[in-house]
Amino acid sequence: MDGRWVPVHVFAPTYGLSRVYTGHIYCLHQRRLLDQLNEMFPGAAAESKPFLRVKAGKIYDLRGEKEDVEFACLNKSHILFVREFEEGQTRGLGGKPGDKGYPYVSKSAVAVKIYLPFYALTGHMQCAQGERVSDVLNKEPQFFPLTDVEINSSLGGRDLSVSFIAVNKGQIIFLQELK
């Protein structure tokens, strides 16, 4: 099938340490990173695939150790968040402007601070009209978008500013709405 290999950073803990997996995941044509993570594709039945396949990757931990891997399969329920990048820069939702295979939904941005194992994220959660933050958290799908994000590590890692990440709801310890 027609698609592309999308370069990503996947933040996930293993053995009590925070690790970052870099590599590529395969996204079918006109599918966004969120679609691939949530297995939600316009005009197709939802599939349940609990593992995310990452190719040609590297695994980094906060001690600075690195391991090269040909392929890795990461349990999506343990992923904290994922960011897509291109040539060192974070990309948006994927695809080209105006090249959407899904309907546009008007949303409002709500400033939030999210606490995950090893990380605090400050950014904007997207809520559809009439929706509250708790509504987004309590409904499917598993991953949701966070924009204009400050990523702070509780373990002394390097802090990042990125335009978009996909956050796993199942890893949220605490979320607060900001004024």
pLDDT in tens, 10-64: 998 877 677 888 999 988 767 788 888 888 766 665 567 888 889 988 888 777 7
- Quick check: 109 and 124 in contact, CB under 8 A? yes
Which residue in 158, 125, 159, 161 sits closest to 144, CA to CA? 125
Residue range 107-177 in CATH 2.30.30.100:
yes
- Whether 20 and 64 have beta carbons less than 8 Å apart is answered as no
Tell me whether the CATH fold assigned to 3-90 matches the one assigned to 107-177.
yes
**Predicted confidence (pLDDT) per residue in 83-133, tens digit:** 987 644 444 333 343 444 445 667 889 999 999 999 999 999 999 888 999
CATH topology (fold) of 3-90: SH3 type barrels. (2.30.30)
Instruction: For the chain, give every domain's residue range.
Output: 3-90, 107-177
